[in-house]
Amino acid sequence: MGKYLIGIDLGTSSLKALLLDSQGHYQSPTSFNYPTHSPLPNYSEQDAGDWYSAAVMAIRSLISETGVKKKQIEGISFSGQMHGLVCVDHHGNPARNAIIWSDQRSAPQVQRIYSEFGKENYGLLTGNPLSTGFMLPSWLWVCENESSTAKRTRFLMLPKDYLRYKISGDFYSDPSDAASTGLFDVAEKTWCQSLLEACAIPETLLPEIRASHQAAGQVAKTVAAECDLLEGTPLFVGGGDTAVQALGRGIYRENEISLAISTGGNLLAISSAPRIDRELRLHCMNYVLPDLWYNMAATLSAGYSLKWLKENFAPELSFASLADLAQDIQSSQGLFFLPHLRGERTPYMDPKSRGVLIGLTSQHRLAHFVRAVMEGVVFSLKAGFDTMKDLKVNAQSITMSGGGVQHPLWIRLVADIFARPIRVSSFAYSAPLGAAMLAGIGSGIFSDFAEACQVAAAPSVSEVFPDAKSSEQYRRMYEQYQSLYPLVKEFYKNEVT
């Protein structure tokens, strides 16, 4: 009788799950959506109950569609959207909606922490810049603005840790996700005591840290009935989605780079020691392998920028149709887009920055808008890549994934703007695949990370090479693009509302 693993990815817009067998074959990948709520401008919240409902539906779907028996499930592990805050009360229920990573309300708390610690000193403590949407400033916002919620809160959880807690009742996190809270010492792999003391956060609010592949409880009796699982099915900790997704693509060696375009966009570069950017333009996070780290450059509004354009200006067209329009023209004809619709992270770390379309003429049509938006997103990722090179990141390979690989223009733009060959992984479920691989390592189905990657990781299906002429044109355009942010920052310095 075969052995199977379940991988669950709690994403920003949907929960994805799949079954993986011991031979590395996956079955019945499935996805269930849930909404994001914005009760006020710059607010981004989700109902954690929606996550659990989606997980129950996904697990039941996997079991019913494949015919796999409950006793064949050897383990379940998790990937999840990073940074966010779930306040959990003494009864194990959310005390309010989760504040997720794209939330911008906590800018005053970020600035106050920098003022009290010094920006560079904070970076040396944690290895990271601090941004809105991180657990630390979001929790301080709750304490200052919702005192009754703060008093009811027993635990502070990251999204995927809450989902696992809901299934098992056990409270853990891992270094790859804890590093995204703003409270973690990435070099020592522990909660930063000086920050906890200064911010008056008892460590009892925070989870015990375990490695991503270690055991983290079992499926509880009541949940087993809901999910059609056996009570006692082992759970494993899991990790932050950026790292777990990269593992699902087989990235585990130093200087391998992962590039993803989804709602947000990111670049990940593996290292054997923490590389901390003293200018705090890049994140330094723990990887899901115990003795590896990664630097991350993040663009907040990657695929989201195209979504914004579609919903507001061409709701009748599909994303593919929009990208087809842009592919059919050779140039955006001097139109530039700064994709700072929700502020920006790398390299500016500026939640107040604004998006800009500049260079409009009467000759521009929808196709030019779409192409400029897509180019602007890739220019933003290129800025992150250039920042990585300042830390002596020596890219051995770049593997692209995420929703962006569903259209060839995204891939072509990355190859030409980066002026490098790009390996393409078109598998849309690499995060739940990576989570299942972690369960396989923890349960002993795979002997180590190398075997898991060799047996189960999603392969790159193609390699796209840059066009020399286009790369030279984009090199010149990128220089112009780089001048936009300083102009925007100065323009909005004394904003009139």
Q: Which residues contact 449 (CB under 8 A, 6 or more apart)?
A: 247, 252, 289, 441
**Confidence (pLDDT) at 238:** 98
**Confidence (pLDDT) at 340:** 96
In a domain, 459, yes or no: no
Q: Average the pLDDT over 223-248 and give the result.
A: 95
By CB atoms closer than 10 A (0-12, 13-18, 19+), residue 301 is buried
Residue 452's alpha-carbon distances to 120, 235, 289, 405, 457, in angstroms, are 38, 17, 12, 24, 7
Q: How far apart are CA 483 and CA 370, in angstroms?
A: 21
pLDDT at 402 over 70: yes
pLDDT at 1 over 70: no
Q: Average the pLDDT over 397-415 and give the result.
A: 92
**Confidence (pLDDT) at 164:** 98
In this structure, the answer to whether residues 217 and 277 fall within a common structural domain is no
Please, which residues bridge with residue 43 across strands?
none
Q: Domain count of the chain?
A: 2
- Specify the residue for token string 């028996």: 69
In this structure, the answer to whether residues 259 and 231 fall within a common structural domain is no
By CB atoms closer than 10 A (0-12, 13-18, 19+), residue 178 is buried
In a domain, 449, yes or no: no
Measured between alpha carbons, how far apart are the two ends of the chain, in Å?
66
Q: What is the pLDDT of residues 310-333, one digit of tens each?
A: 999 999 999 999 999 999 999 999
**Confidence (pLDDT) at 385:** 95
In this structure, the answer to whether residues 485 and 368 fall within a common structural domain is yes
Query: What's the chain's average pLDDT?
Result: 94
In a domain, 19, yes or no: yes
pLDDT at 2 over 90: no
Q: How far apart are CA 240 and CA 177, in angstroms?
A: 4
**Confidence (pLDDT) at 309:** 97
User: CATH number for the domain including 474?
Assistant: 3.30.420.40
In this structure, the answer to whether residues 34 and 128 fall within a common structural domain is yes
Backbone angle region of 297, left / alpha / beta, with phi > 0 → left and psi within -120 to 50 → alpha: beta
Q: Which amino acid is at 340?
A: H
Residue 492 pLDDT grade (very low, low, confident, very high; cuts 50, 70, 90): confident
In this structure, the answer to whether residues 306 and 387 fall within a common structural domain is yes
- Mean pLDDT is lowest, of 40-49, 143-152, 450-459, for 450-459
**Confidence (pLDDT) at 256:** 85
Contact 452, 442 (CB under 8 A): no
Q: What is the pTM of this model?
A: 0.88
In a domain, 450, yes or no: no
Q: How far apart are CA 106 and CA 43, in angstroms?
A: 9
In a domain, 442, yes or no: no
Residue 497 pLDDT grade (very low, low, confident, very high; cuts 50, 70, 90): low
Q: Which of 169, 75, 451 is nearest to 289 (CA)?
A: 451
In this structure, the answer to whether residues 386 and 487 fall within a common structural domain is yes
pLDDT at 496 over 80: no
By CB atoms closer than 10 A (0-12, 13-18, 19+), residue 497 is exposed
In a domain, 443, yes or no: no
Q: Which domain holds residue 399?
A: 250-426+467-497
Q: What is the pLDDT of residues 337-368, one digit of tens each?
A: 999 998 898 999 888 899 999 999 999 999 99
In this structure, the answer to whether residues 35 and 183 fall within a common structural domain is yes
**Confidence (pLDDT) at 371:** 98
In this structure, the answer to whether residues 391 and 473 fall within a common structural domain is yes
In this structure, the answer to whether residues 180 and 282 fall within a common structural domain is no
In this structure, the answer to whether residues 118 and 148 fall within a common structural domain is yes
Active-site positions?
241
